[in-house]
Structure formats: structure tokens, C-alpha cells
Structure 1
């Protein structure tokens, strides 16, 4: 069993943003974060999940992902994502990230758990710290998917 906590942050929406991810398995713990110069909160929430799942090298794990993002949790848990796939993501934002997410999700037995943000959950709070620090950092990366989508809204 692998546990992943995730959070995303954006200073303005869009604006500088970042994600924070904490992976835990038995006594092992790994923290990840990155910042981007212009992005959205929803993109960072989803990217945090993607980056966590990318760390799992072998297939078939039971993975529980804790997120305070209703966007991410509900999109998967309520099945909205699969409807978007059938329609080719027509009119949906973040298709580039959802397309990265799906094969990672399909490699494992993934369960999402929504947690209330800023409510004292230590791992959610840690992810928030990582995400905010990344968003406020120097040498912010380019969120190419967002900037391409923004400059060409008919692309996705």
C-alpha cells in the first residue's frame, strides 16, 4: 500500500503556482515539489497527483491519494473523466494533464480520498507548504501545457 498526499497552489488564477506531493510506503517518505511561472490551481492539484504516481516504478500497487481538490477527486471518483475521454476532452481544460494521468492511474488500484484543506491534517498541511514554497520560489518552470492552451484555446 502506497499513500500519496497532494496539494496545488496558485498565486492568482492564473499566476505563479506550484505543487507539493508526499509519498509514503512503510517507513519510507518522499517529498516532491516544483514551481511554475504561470499556471492555475487546478493544474497544480492534478500535476501533484501525476508526479506522485510517476514515482511508483512497479505496476499493480494499491494506492490511496489524499487531495483537497474536489476538481481532481470528483473528476475521477464520480466518473466525469471517462465521459470527457469519450468526447475527446472537447471543451475541457487541462486535457494534456488528464492524458498523462490516465495511463498512470490504470497501472494501479487507485482510490481517492478528499480531505478538507487547511483543516489541520498534517500531511495535507505539509503538501500545502511545499506547493506555496514552490510557487513563491525562484527559477520557476514554464507550464507549457497551460501557456500553449492559453495562446491557442482551440488546441485542446
Structure 2
């Protein structure tokens, strides 16, 4: 398994897609019930393959990620061959509120705000690195904050 198995709730939400996936595997509803009861390890393998396909599809579309903690803001732009990162640290504002993030945007040049920018090539496959960031708490983003800081910083 390349990523992680989808949670039961996620699988239920993707029930229709999972049914289509099973149909492509030439497994109908009766066979699926039989697999779950008599060969649970094979059923789990099918769920794992489906989970990887879902994650792969999602990760292929990711352009930006954000990891926000109280005093550090990590913003990522996920390009094809490299990832750009903006790190903002502040001792005076808590990044967990939207109004404080707006304050940071309005005061980027304050001495108490540190901004670091950089880029690096992926050290492993792109989607695997993005998945690692998500597992560590990064969330999907539209990139508005990254681009605003890039243009103002």
C-alpha cells in the first residue's frame, strides 16, 4: 500500500466510485459480500488498491498546502518537480485566527515577523512527499495566502 487506507466514512462517501471500481475488477455485489465473509484479506487488498487510487487522484490535483500552528505558518506551492515554501514566524500573533492572519498580511515588514522563502526539488516521488505533509497536518489550500505573501513580501 502506497498511502493509507481510506477510513470507513470516506469509503462510504465514495460508495458509488467503489462500486464502479469493483465492477472494473469484475466483482459484483454478491461476489463482494462473499469476499468480505470468506476472504477478508482479499477484500482488504481491494480496499487498499482503491484507497491508493483515490489518494493518487487527489494528490495529482494538489497545488497548495498550508500548515498553520499558533506561531508558525508554513505555506507550500506544490509544483511538478519542486516545492516552494514560505515560513512565517511571529511571537506577537496567533496564526490560528483569520483576523490575525490578516494582521500579518497587513504588517509583513514588521520586525517581529520573520519570513523565510525557499524551494527544493522533491527527494522522493511528488505525491509521496505531499502525502507526508498531509499526514503531518498540512491542509489543502487555494494558495491565496501563499500568493498574497509572495507578492507583498
TM-score (norm 2): 0.29
- Larger Rg computed on CA atoms: 2
